[in-house]
Amino acid sequence: MDETAYLRKIAKETKAHIDLLNDIRKSIRAYTDEIDRPFAQRNLFSLAGPSQLKEWNKNSLALRTAISNVEILEKITQEALRANQRDGRPPDLWKLDFVTGLAYLWRIMTGGNASSDLASPFASFVEMAWASLGDDLPEISWASQIRRRRDIRSAAELVSWANFIGEFPLKHLR
């Protein structure tokens, strides 16, 4: 599956999640509206003891909190979907990851930040790294990824992260 198809699939699944969250919110709200009706409360109060009423109130509050949380999740999901649905050509995430990984390595090796200047040694490093992967690879333009690359953590943080990754299987997968 190519990257564009993958992104479309994710967007479709995200829209389905939004619909599901909306359905959950409506169902919980309909239920709480029904149990808050005076007739339902009168019947409950006549059948329940004090401890049951306390539990009832606690669960009723939890349902109202759930409605609020579902509304927040729905809003966050809609915002994330809107942020990722841009007009034009979708980004080449693999290229961005390639450049970001090399920028991490650059920081570890040099201690300096990888430049976003297309005439910088870092830009040459990216080109040479790609070329070193084989003779039959297509020629790729890295300009937009180099210009838009993410901020890189400090060299000490990256070395610590790399050490953690290297030690993780030894410590946790025995």
Q: pLDDT digit string (tens) for 1-55?
A: 666 777 778 778 888 888 888 888 888 888 877 766 665 566 666 666 677 777 7
Indicate whether 108 and 153 sit together in one domain. Answer: yes
Which domain range does residue 69 map to? Answer: 3-84
Indicate whether 17 and 80 sit together in one domain. Answer: yes
Give yes or no for residue 87 having a pLDDT over 60.
Answer: no
> What contacts 106, CB < 8 A, 6 or more positions away?
112, 114, 122, 125, 152
> What contacts 91, CB < 8 A, 6 or more positions away?
none
- Rounded Cα distance between 89 and 86, Å, is 8
127-139 exposure pattern, b = at least 16 Cβ within 10 A, e = fewer:
eebbeeeeeeeee
Question: How many domains does the chain fold into?
Answer: 2
Which of 84, 110, 134 delimits the end of a domain?
Answer: 84
Average pLDDT of every residue of the chain: 79
Structure confidence at residue 91 (pLDDT): 64
pTM, full prediction? 0.45
| Residue-level length of the chain | 174
Mean pLDDT lowest for which of 6-15, 63-72, 93-102?
6-15
